[in-house]
Amino acid sequence: MGDRRALVTGITGQDGSYLAEFLLERGYDVYGLIRRSSTVNFERIRHIQDDVHLLSGDLLDQNSLMFAIQEARPHEVYNLGAQSFVPASWAQPLLTGEITALGVARLLEAIRSTDAEIRFYQASTSELFGKVRESPQTETTPFYPRSPYGVSKVYGHWITINYRESYDMYACAGILFNHESPRRGLEFVSRKITNGVARIKHGRDSRLLLGNLDARRDWGYAGDFVRAMWMMLQQETPDDFVIATGRDRTIREFCEAAFGSVGLDWEEYVQVDERFLRPAEVEVLRGDPSKARRVLGWEPEVSFEEMVAMMVERDMELVALEK
């Protein structure tokens, strides 16, 4: 048993799995909230499944959050659970709001009524900036979200700050820019590309259909970004931080790096398909992580090129194993 206990919502997701590993390495007792599903989706946490405590619950269900807090008695809660895929938020705007916006308030209420000393991390996002008002974006850049997901995250962000200011709770929001890894969901553009590269290289596919190739993102590595979440909760006073690499690239450049890492020319395989365009696009995101560097001492360790190579390599292995 460790001295510190942490509860992670979204533990089955990309970030949840890396954060759980990170906390276990630091001797934490790690509790993870799992929502019921008819098929098991523990792919990302299978290797640590016996080392963590899994609790049944859902951000839609207030009582389940109360029980989870009472059961885990955590010192720290990391709220990573969300409907996190931007296009799905146009298809299901109300559900996205229930989970990604009101889910934050439900969890904060569960904490406040159980033990207001618990430290809270909210997974805020660069999608808050949307149609950006200035570049690069900092902690003080005004928000202009461009999707029901972004709008929901604005609520999650402000309710976190509001609970800090209303109840003196230790609640932080990390405004994280896009971060990727071999565990990224297949629907996000980075993994869609690296998986596509592997399928093409193995002769399983002949083309890759994408949407807007001109969009720009500030892509970092998920393993580096979960470290920043923990660092935020170790400060004397709670605060909000932008976590980013400070460099943006286009989807084309991502394609060039991914296809290039296995000796392919992306332009021979990538085609634009209008089905993947969005009703309102976030054209460009680039964060300024100066405050995180200065106050937290946080620096990313894995470069863009290393991350892309790592993702392609893993997808090459996975596709080779597919029957």
Q: Which helix (H) or strand (E) holds 16?
A: helix 14-25
Contact predicate 17/44, CB 8 Å: yes
Query: What is the distance, to the nearest Å, from the Cα of residue 40 to the centroid of all Cα atoms in its chain?
Result: 21
Q: Considering the complex, state which of residue 114 and residue 250 has its C-beta at the smaller distance from ligand G4F.
A: 250
Q: Which of 12, 96, 141, 160 binds ligand NAP (CB under 6 A)?
A: 12
31 labelled catalytic:
no
Binding mask 61-80 for ligand NAP (x = CB under 6 A): -------------------x
Q: Contact between 9 and ligand NAP (CB under 6 A)?
A: yes
Q: Which of 89, 96, 125, 152 binds ligand NAP (CB under 6 A)?
A: 125
Least distance to ligand G4F from the beta carbon of 79, Å? Answer: 13
Stretch that binds ligand NAP, among 53-61, 130-138, 229-237, 315-323 (CB under 6 A): 53-61
Least distance to ligand G4F from the beta carbon of 260, Å? Answer: 18
Q: Considering the complex, state which of residue 12 and residue 147 has its C-beta at the smaller distance from ligand NAP.
A: 12
| Amino acid at position 308, single letter | V
DSSP helix/strand/coil, 234 = coil
Q: Contact between 160 and ligand NAP (CB under 6 A)?
A: no
Contact predicate 27/4, CB 8 Å: yes
Q: Contact between 255 and ligand G4F (CB under 6 A)?
A: no
300 binds, among ligand NAP, ligand G4F, none (CB under 5 to 8 A by kind): none
Q: Contact between 81 and ligand NAP (CB under 6 A)?
A: yes
DSSP helix/strand/coil, 156 = helix
What's the burial of 313, exposed, middle or buried (CB within 10 Å: 0-12/13-18/19+)? middle
Contact predicate 1/30, CB 8 Å: no
Which among 9, 96, 125, 160 is annotated as catalytic? 125
217 binds, among ligand NAP, ligand G4F, none (CB under 5 to 8 A by kind): ligand G4F
Can you name the residues that pair with 7 across neighbouring β-strands? 31, 77
Q: Spell out the residues 6+ positions from residue 28 whose beta carbon is closer than 8 angstroms to its own.
A: 2, 4, 5, 6
251 binds, among ligand G4F, ligand NAP, none (CB under 5 to 8 A by kind): ligand G4F
Q: Contact between 82 and ligand NAP (CB under 6 A)?
A: yes
Q: Contact between 278 and ligand G4F (CB under 6 A)?
A: yes
Q: Which of 10, 74, 130, 211 binds ligand G4F (CB under 6 A)?
A: 211
CA angle 219, 223, 226 (to 5 degrees): 95
What's the burial of 246, exposed, middle or buried (CB within 10 Å: 0-12/13-18/19+)? middle
Q: Spell out the residues 6+ positions from residue 20 whose beta carbon is closer than 8 angstroms to its own.
A: 8, 11, 30, 32, 45, 48, 52
237 labelled catalytic:
no
CA distances from residue 55 to 72, 106, 107, 124 in whole angstroms, order as listed: 9, 17, 14, 23
Q: Contact between 227 and ligand G4F (CB under 6 A)?
A: no
Contact predicate 145/281, CB 8 Å: no
Q: Contact between 251 and ligand NAP (CB under 6 A)?
A: no
28 labelled catalytic:
no
Write out the catalytic residue numbers. Answer: 125, 127, 149
Q: Give me the residues that bind ligand G4F (CB under 6 A), please.
A: 84, 86, 125-127, 177-178, 187-190, 192, 210-212, 215, 217, 251, 276, 278, 281-282, 285
